[in-house]
Amino acid sequence: MKSLNLYGKQDIRFEESPEPVIKKADEVIIKIKAVGICGSDISRYKKLGPYVEGMTFGHEFSGVVTEIGSEVRGIQLGDRVAACPTFYCGECESCRKGELSRCKKLTVIGARHPGAYAEYVKLPAENIVPLPDNVDFDTAALIEPSSVVAHGYYRTRIQPGAEVAVMGCGSIGLLAVQWAKIFGAKKVYAIDIDDSKLDIAKEVGADILINSLENPAHTQLLEQTDGNGVDLAVESAGSPITSAQVLALPKKGGEVVFMGIPYADVHIERFYFEKIVRNELRVLGSWNAISSPFPGKEWNSSIHYMSTGQINVKPMISYRLKLEEGPETFDQIINKKGSYVKVLFYPEIR
């Protein structure tokens, strides 16, 4: 089958790989209909390289069931599905406590198991998530990042009527804007340095747009909030710079939740660090997209709000490409040749 395999830093290849084969009674094989590039894929491609040389990459996808193991129940050939790409060990202390996102051996397809930049992928039946008829394959390919965002919000104390600031309007940030409204936010501030991304944020529900190239984000935000700040600030840019700046956005006693991954050292100026202490902030990390019972309420709620239209991913999709265009596309993204939010690949000819 055709696939994109990661061999090293900035070395991804479109080539033939063996098709997956059912080896365990609980396994399911899915024909990929759409698969998205995750921000973490870009970082691993650009800076880190693969966990396993030559591994088939990718983990955000949707497709159709083509084969099932002998003990699989409730899943039929031809079912339209997405799937949670995550594996947990079930044996460590966190898993035994039901805190699956904190599993010591947490991993995803595309890391140590063949991923979804391919014509087919194989996963255990418990990872499979059926799709309602009104959630199309493009939308379903973003269930995983939506679940990442939902997981972060479920960690917070957000209440209806809250004001929320989202720092960084890539795919996670744009989903965070929409999830803020689902959780009852009365006003959402979207912050970025790219006006085109801010325009998309407005389209998906942001109330106030802040371009932090013009003036520091916190200065503009305080002007909008009578000097108070917001109840919750979401760091979704994954930048070492914004990972410090986000601390100046919440009001006294407010919260920060980190969803982005900087992949670099974060140096925090005294001005920003003191906000944690002087404002008695509650600072949270959020990792992955799963909870107990697996895969978690993050997945069910993502599908529900996609089916109602309250999560709209269509404005976020920048390009729809053939899988063979993968190597060129990854190179263009890291070299900033064009503006991208979410890129979808299609392994089969459309």
Sorting pLDDT into bands at 50, 70 and 90, what band is 263? confident
Q: What is the pLDDT of residue 54?
A: 98
Q: What is the pLDDT of residue 350?
A: 52
- Kindly tell me if the per-residue pLDDT of 168 is higher than 70: yes
Q: What is the pLDDT of residue 61?
A: 98
- Burial of 308 from C-beta contacts in 10 A (0-12 / 13-18 / 19+): exposed
SS3 101: helix
pTM of the model: 0.97
Average pLDDT of 27-43?
97
Percent of the chain scored above 90 by pLDDT? 97
Any idea which of 87-91, 163-167, 210-214 has the lowest mean pLDDT? 210-214
Average pLDDT of 94-119?
98
Percent of the chain scored above 70 by pLDDT? 99
Q: Locate 332 and state its tokens.
A: 């263009």
**CATH code 3.90.180.10 for 2-142+313-346:** yes
Domain ranges of the chain: 2-142+313-346, 149-285
Average pLDDT of 78-87?
98
Average pLDDT of 54-66?
98
**Cβ-based neighbours of 305, under 8 Å, separated by 6 or more:** 146, 178, 182, 311
User: pLDDT tens-digit profile of 307-332?
Assistant: 999 999 999 999 999 999 999 999 99
Task: For strands 282-285 and 2-8, give the pairing.
Answer: unpaired
Average pLDDT of 132-153?
98
Mean pLDDT for all residues in the chain = 97
Q: What is the pLDDT of residue 214?
A: 82
Sorting pLDDT into bands at 50, 70 and 90, what band is 288? very high
Strands (E), the chain: 2-8, 11-16, 27-36, 55-56, 60-68, 80-83, 86-87, 107-108, 120-124, 128-130, 163-167, 187-192, 208-211, 230-235, 250-258, 282-285, 317-322, 342-346
Cα 133–Cα 57–Cα 70 angle in degrees, nearest 5: 55
CATH of domain 149-285: 3.40.50.720
Sorting pLDDT into bands at 50, 70 and 90, what band is 250? very high
Sorting pLDDT into bands at 50, 70 and 90, what band is 337? confident
Q: Can you say whether residue 200 is alpha, beta or left, with left for phi > 0 and alpha for psi between -120 and 50 degrees?
A: alpha
Q: What is the pLDDT of residue 291?
A: 98
Average pLDDT of 105-118?
98
